[in-house]
Amino acid sequence: MAKTTIAPIAEHGRTGGSTALPERFIYRAKPGISREVVETISRMKNEPGWMREFRLNAYEEFVRLPVPTWGPDLSGLDFQAITYYQKTEERRYKSWKEVPADIKNTFEKIGVPQAERAFLAGVIGQYESEGFYQKLRGKWEEKGVIFCDTDTAVQKYPEMVKKYFMTECIHASEHKLAALHGAVWSGGTFLYVPAGVHIDMPLQTYFRMNARASGQFEHTLIIVEEGASVQYIEGCTAPLYHNNSLHAAVVEIFVKKGARSRYTTIQNWSKDVYNLNTKRAIVEEDGIQEWVGGSLGSKVTMLYPCTVLKGRGSRAEHLNIAVAGPGQHKDTGAKVMHLAPDTSSNIVSKSISFGGGISTYRGLLKIVKGAKGSRSHVQCDALMPDNISQSNTIPYIKVNEEDVTLGHEAKVGRISEDLVFYLMSRGLTEQEAINLVVQGFMEPIAKSLPLEYAVELNRLISMEMEGSLG
């Protein structure tokens, strides 16, 4: 097999420094949000009436709900300056040969086609608002796996979408951004794994936001039926324009009895993107949901993947790393609700703040009455290599049941001078020594990533931090 270089998250290196291509579109909504824009999106997509109704109801909620003020400052976000919908292609391509050259080049630089050949079971590519490429290996198609963009799913599998789309897991009325998402959502992944099917290669979707002051609102819906298992990876990037852009995605995952799902995302948005997402999984009896996340880039990120442990013996694993550099505010964490007996959760959160960046761990752990024998452990480690940054830890803990085991620990610290000195005495330069210490710090997260991603993540973080340490 030919050796391929895969750079799934970085393009030419530095986060958010990627080159912008000329903007491409065949239809583009006028900036701002209104009932009319919402109706236009629905019409352009030729959606059934129920989805149009759903969007309009969500729009009403959006107008009604206030901008959340309990977290990072969102005052720089102007909902009327953003373009909510931008369609670039008339159809979905089945082969990279059909994909127009400029999009293809972008994705080749990121390494998506190469990765597909090397280690993926299926790929969806999304450019601006909608998917343009989708491919699932025939072997899985035969077993009844569905892997397509969510717009296609609305047309082809309306009953399934109608059943699961923002009905049970996440509601549009929860908060302003969920409502906005409900009104203008476009693209995303629809993944259905039939009972008992184990997909042994990961599936991947890659989102690219290329236009200026735009928004991406992809909706990902994953349904893993009884005893099935799947690994899904999402990657995201956008070039830098110095106009505030918005990414407000929703991810809903249903893990049925005895099923297992792993959702991995590495987000490397440019430093003008507000990255405000809502992600949640409902896990039934003996099911397992794993979240592995790397949050790089972006201006403000608010992301707290949530697992609802609904069935007895269900389990949640949350692994997250957030990197906050100059001008960045990362407000991330994990939420776990233990609603049934013998449920367990493990949360590991790592953050690095440097160059004036602010990182906050904000988590919620709730154990309701009757969730007997539940266990949970939360670990938050923060690294502050310099002295102009900030690191916060705010874990909310609510326990209404006595028969539980719950532990939480948090540590904030800098890079130990002794460690760096030791490594330098073994012949490493100071920068190499620091990189090694940082890599060791991130190891628990990196080792849960596919190898190509782990290598890339390490490389990205060391590049980000290079020269910014005194």
Partner 1 sequence: MKTKRETIEARVPKGEMRIVPIVWFGEGDRAVKARVVLDKPGSSAKVLCLFFAKKGKFDLHTEIVHDAPNTFSRTLIKGVLDGEAAADYEGSVTINKGAKNADADLNEHAILLSSKARANAIPRLEVLENDVKAGHGATVGKVSDEEIFYLETRGLPREEAKKLIVRGFLDSFVNEFPKEEAENIRAQLPRL
Closest CA to 203 of 160, 139, 255, 267: 139
Q: Is 431 in the site for partner 1 (CB under 8 A)?
A: no
Q: Is 200 in the site for partner 1 (CB under 8 A)?
A: no
Among 301, 385, 433, 452, binds partner 1 (CB under 8 A): 385
> What residue type is 44 in one-letter code?
M
Q: Is 326 in the site for partner 1 (CB under 8 A)?
A: no
Q: Which stretch binds partner 1 (CB under 8 A): 40-48, 184-192, 213-221, 390-398?
A: 390-398
Specify the DSSP class assigned to residue 247: E
Scanning the structure block, which residue is given the tokens 């690294």? 383
Q: Is 391 in the site for partner 1 (CB under 8 A)?
A: yes
Number of H helices, E strands in the chain: 11, 26
- Applying the rule CB under 8 A, the residues between 161 and 190 that interact with partner 1 are none
Per DSSP, the three-state class of 176 is helix
Q: Is 407 in the site for partner 1 (CB under 8 A)?
A: yes
Q: Is 400 in the site for partner 1 (CB under 8 A)?
A: yes
Half-sphere exposure of 182 (CA within 13 A, CB side): 26
Among 81, 413, 429, 430, binds partner 1 (CB under 8 A): 413
Q: Is 43 in the site for partner 1 (CB under 8 A)?
A: no
Q: Is 404 in the site for partner 1 (CB under 8 A)?
A: yes
Least Å distance, CB 355 to partner 1, is 12
- Applying the rule CB under 8 A, the residues between 347 and 376 that interact with partner 1 are 369
Least Å distance, CB 225 to partner 1, is 35
**What is the C-alpha separation between 165 and 151, in angstroms, rounded?**
12
Q: Is 408 in the site for partner 1 (CB under 8 A)?
A: yes
Q: Is 396 in the site for partner 1 (CB under 8 A)?
A: yes
**What is the C-alpha separation between 99 and 225, in angstroms, rounded?**
33
CB closer to partner 1, 170 vs 371: 371
CB closer to partner 1, 162 vs 408: 408
Among 6, 166, 191, 382, binds partner 1 (CB under 8 A): 382
φ/ψ of residue 207, rounded to 5: -105, 130
Q: Give the number of residues in contact with partner 1, rule: CB under 8 A.
A: 32
**What is the C-alpha separation between 130 and 114, in angstroms, rounded?**
22
Give 21: exposed, middle or buried? Use CB within 10 Å, 0-12, 13-18, 19+: middle
Closest CA to 218 of 185, 190, 264, 176: 185
Helix, strand and coil content of the chain, in percent to the nearest 5, comes to 25, 35, 40
Q: Is 343 in the site for partner 1 (CB under 8 A)?
A: no
Kindly list the residues in this chain that would bind partner 1 in the complex (CB under 8 A).
369, 382, 384-387, 389-414
